[in-house]
Chain A
């Protein structure tokens, strides 16, 4: 096992991770040495995908209170209001800072930054660049990182285990893909920014690499996960691949149609229509399909139709160019002329690693940022275009706090760290020696089918119980009957995929258990057997941790400052 040492480690290189790395270097004036660890090349994380934009209060017709209220209402009142009020004030600062680092924003004729309307926001406050908003943010941060000197990049290292000693963060065990060697990183602080978990489901917007690694690594290290039952389905994703058609299109006039040619959203959200909160639009689409008013789309997948023609050719060919290219290139449909087949796809984890408003976890030295972190901003449903500024803001705060922590702390060394890492390494080496009968792809297919069938948009007790039982059986198969054929060390992706699948199993169990326990419907978590929100019993966060007796669920109150819970109507 090789050892590398840095002051601060950043794990994951999407928006939150790159923003954190840049912040550590900036705050410390290039004095702290930063190790940047990613399982992909640094610029290839899935933050390149978001199309629509970033929400921020930048106009005179808008206010921080309005943005905070829209977010809290969208969250179905599960958001911690102190967190929301604090973070929305950082968003415009981040938009401005990124602009100063070179990121293009679409501008109005007078040179001011252009804004558009997004779902469940009361005013247009989403800034954008064509429909490649996430991509330009990623490239700007990657480019900006290259200005600094005191960092090492570790492209294509898969993180395996967090090493803790004396209740403090000490190191991170990884597997270097190109050599197949185990590498232990020792450092004072760690920022976990590994992104989401969409690949747990069959139909998802997420990249193949979005396998929930950070959630599982933290959980296994004893750090709790919070609000994991809340997973967002993005309404308009093109069939059969799950590539999104941005919500911004609906802000510019695109409508949803059922097989009767009807704008069915009028039955579900008469005032906001297609721009209601995402959970409401997604459930409406699936309800239409289930009640026989859907279409058979490509590869026989059931869907409804998105009519983007009202957006107009001018806009479609300029600020929605990526959408038009994707529809033409990937499914052979021209949105200027034809209806686009769409259905909701698993998209975003509202829950995540339990952190406070400063992005600190219960372990000194460990911080989390971006989608994998849950500071309590998103609650039970995230608003579209809140996630990009949230990744930036949380990356910045986590980076700052990790830097301050690392500057105050003296480097220590202990042989126990190495021994712990060796014990962890043996657990992963054991996977290759099981020599059972089932390959990781077969097992993964089974898991995503379970999640799609029982832990989807509509849930009930019987289904969740069945899912939990089958996930636990799969965990046993994984440890006793796994087969990994490829025994080469160099770039062995069968092995790395098998390790990722192990992470997915742990995360799936937490989501399913949290969903089973929460006997109400709130935001993205919908129980057909408990279809109403129940503030008396359930206005609280769920917190899951590992104990000797298995997973334990506890609850924590929601912080309410200005806005008393009310019925959510759009």
Chain B
């Protein structure tokens, strides 16, 4: 499974039919989709979807056709010049995308990052930024 981050931009949904259209696009793929996060953001409704890796292209295409924005995975950047490997972000990361390696150096795994952003204001060095 892999995580994609999609946005339903403001103005996209005007009536219930618009919702059903998007849901039908997803249903046509005949896969199980886990919604990991549902939140309202500056540009619309953000969803984190957990989908099978081999379906990523077809579902991305289908969503894009319906004007849903598909964002890249991973939403933060760790500035290693500023990072001092303290670990203050590690306990906040729900997927261990931020973790310390055997030596105690901070590692960031883009693959595992959900873009939840919990870590950003936990960093005492201001080393984590949203992309």
A and B assemble together: no
B-side residues, CB < 8 A to A, are none
